[in-house]
Structure 1
Amino acid sequence: MKVGLIGFGKTGKAVATAILDNNELCLEWVLRKRTLLEHRSVPEFLGIQSDEPGLIYSSLTTSMEELLDKHPVDAIIDFSSDQGIYTYGEIAAKRGITIISAVSHYGEQEREFLKELAKQTVVFWSPNITLGVNYLLIASKFLKKIAPWVDIQIVEEHFREKAGVSGTAIKIAKVLDLEESDINSVRAGGIEGRHEVIFGFPYQTVRLIHESISREAFGNGVIFVAQNLAGKEKGLYNFESLLLPYFYN
């Protein structure tokens, strides 16, 4: 499967590394806004031995139409910003290219736009694309269904500079019908990311914890999603729609 990656920050670089290490996905190109590193080879830049093209392009000098004409792909993976979808969404959908978005926050307008794109192609969105976090989400949902009266608290911990409440924690709260006030945020040092859901039963406590060790976990999540979207009908997918069949098979 040929893929293009949008966004080449710290997480984008980790995702590119995971893709280059995978035999089923081929990194055709990376698109970023800045012209720094333009036309450089991603494998060379990351120091990875690979025959994949993985050239870096800038959206300031290369249009999406031009990029897709020269280097067509089967899927576009988005780790940019909430506005990134507008730079490629319609073009990708018209060409039947699968869209995999791992953007943390989308407003109502962007979410509606994703629904419109999903009428033309396969669209996937998850504010956290790690497999572990999404397993935690489903497990938490099941436990809440079994004991709807249980006391629940969410704790999210991240590095000192991270602004705002974790998008993943907000997603967990939404799934469990909780308020944002039920989320406890901790900012300290260089914590990569930790989410804990605490279920307080009488005489016992259940804790579900996911801890990020490396940003490569996002890359592993992308690979899982890309593999499980293969052959899907056009429509809007999330992690739950991909994981639930594993629970019942």
Structure 2
Amino acid sequence: MKIGLFGFGKAGKAVASVILQNKNHSLQWIYRKTNKLNHRDASDFFGIESNDPGYFHSEKSFNIDELLEKHPVDAIIDFSSQEGIYTYGKAAARNNVKIISAISHYSDKEIDFLHQLAQKAIVFWSPNITLGINYLLYASTFLKKIAPSVDIEIIEEHFKDKKGISGTAIRIADVLEVKDEKINTIRAGGIVGKHEVIFGFPFQTVRLIHESISRDAFGNGAVFAAEHLLNKKPGFYKFEDLLHPYFKV
């Protein structure tokens, strides 16, 4: 699968590195606001031997329509910003390009836009695209169904400079139908990301924990999503839609 990448921050860099090392997929380009890395390629940037072109392109030199025409891809993976979807969304839908968004926070406006795009394109959104955290979500949902009155607390830990409540923690709270005030936030050092769901029963406690050891986990999750969207029809998909077939008894 030919992949284009939006966003080259800490997570975006990890995702690019993972795709470059995956022989089943090809990183065609990375699209950025700045032209600072133009005329370089990602394999050179990371020092990874790869046949992928992985070129850096800037919106200052190519608009997205020109880029998709000259360097077509099967999927766009987005680790950029909340507003990034407006840069490429319509062009991707017109060109039958799968949209795989890993943006932590979207407003109702962006979510509505994703659903509009999903009428013509395959659109996937996961606030946390790691496979492990989405398994945690799925398992938490089952436990809540078994014990709907159980006490639930959510703890999220991230690096010191991360602002706001984790989008993943908010997602967990929404899925388990608990209020955001049940989310406990810790910011310290260089923690990549840790989420814990505590189920408090009268005489026992169940804890489900997921910890990202490396941001490469985002890359593995994005590749998992891309592979499981291959034969899907246009529509809006979440990670649980991809996991559900594995839980059928």
TM over 0.5: yes
Aligned to 1:245: 245
Deviations 1:90-116 (A, max 9, x none): 011011110000011110010000001
> Once superposed, what is the RMSD of the aligned Cα atoms?
0.7
Matches of 1:8 and 1:93 in 2, distance apart?
22
Aligned to 1:109: 109
Tell me the SS of whatever aligns to 1:233. Answer: coil
Aligned to 1:217: 217
Aligned to 1:59: 59
Aligned to 2:149: 149
- 1:61 offset after TM fit, Å? 2.1
- Given the two structures, how large is their TM-score scaled by the length of structure 1? 0.99
Aligned 1:43-58 pairs, distance under 5 A:
43-58=43-58
Matches of 1:83 and 1:89 in 2, distance apart?
10
Deviations 1:137-163 (A, max 9, x none): 010011000000100000001111111
Aligned to 1:187: 187
Matched, 1:124 2:124: yes
Instruction: Give the residue type in structure 2 aligned to 1:4.
Output: G
Instruction: Give the residue type in structure 1 aligned to 2:229.
Output: L
Report runs of 4+ in structure 1 exceeding 4 Å deviation: none
Aligned to 1:11: 11
Aligned to 1:235: 235
Matched, 1:159 2:122: no
Instruction: Give the residue type in structure 2 aligned to 1:11.
Output: A
Aligned to 1:202: 202
Deviations 1:179-230 (A, max 9, x none): 1100000111111111000000111100000001000000000110001001
Instruction: Give the residue type in structure 1 aligned to 2:222.
Output: V
Tell me the SS of whatever aligns to 1:62. Answer: coil
Tell me the SS of whatever aligns to 2:155. Answer: strand
Matches of 2:118 and 2:180 in 1, distance apart?
29
Matched, 1:98 2:98: yes
Instruction: Give the residue type in structure 2 aligned to 1:163.
Output: K
Matches of 1:150 and 1:39 in 2, distance apart?
56
Matches of 1:207 and 1:24 in 2, distance apart?
36
- Number of aligned residue pairs: 249
Matches of 2:39 and 2:111 in 1, distance apart?
32
Matches of 1:198 and 1:44 in 2, distance apart?
44
Structure 2 portions without partners, runs of 5+: none
Matches of 1:51 and 1:94 in 2, distance apart?
28
Aligned to 1:177: 177
Matched, 1:29 2:63: no
- Given the two structures, how large is their TM-score scaled by the length of structure 2? 0.99
Matches of 2:96 and 2:146 in 1, distance apart?
40
Matches of 1:158 and 1:182 in 2, distance apart?
17
Matches of 1:124 and 1:226 in 2, distance apart?
9
Tell me the SS of whatever aligns to 2:149. Answer: coil
Matches of 1:9 and 1:35 in 2, distance apart?
15
- 1:21 offset after TM fit, Å? 0.9
- 1:60 offset after TM fit, Å? 2.1
- 1:25 offset after TM fit, Å? 1.1
Matches of 1:5 and 1:137 in 2, distance apart?
26
